Amino acid sequence: MPLQTRICEILEIEYPIFLAGMGGASVPALAAAVSNAGGLGVLGAAACSPDQLRSWIRQTREMTDKPFGVDTLLPASVRRGSA
């Protein structure tokens, strides 16, 4: 029986379990597997180029119709107020 919480309702997942966005480990196959199992799969995309990230998102969508996330970093050069 699924453990339902408010976050489960918001994200439309069965279990309040999130894959950590670990660079090199949180790849499309693992993210899709976690999402398919009822958690929230997350791609570890901090080191991805834009083209690689697009490819990973496409691959993940091919493996699951469930919600998943993308974990990336916001470079200092695009943060509000940076010089």
In a domain, 18, yes or no: yes
pLDDT beyond 60 at 30: yes
pLDDT at 83: 54
- Across all residues in the chain, what is the average pLDDT? 90
pLDDT beyond 90 at 42: yes
> What is the band of 23 on the pLDDT scale with cuts at 50, 70, 90?
confident
pLDDT at 51: 95
Model's pTM, two decimal places?
0.84
pLDDT at 8: 95
Cβ-based neighbours of 68, under 8 Å, separated by 6 or more: 31, 32, 34, 35, 40, 41, 42, 43, 60
In a domain, 79, yes or no: no
In a domain, 78, yes or no: no
Handedness of CA 53, 56, 61, 64 (dihedral sign): negative
Number of domains observed in the structure of the chain: 1
H or E segment to which residue 55 belongs: helix 50-63
Domain boundaries, position 43? 6-70
Mutual angle of helices 50-63 and 28-36, in 10-degree steps? 30
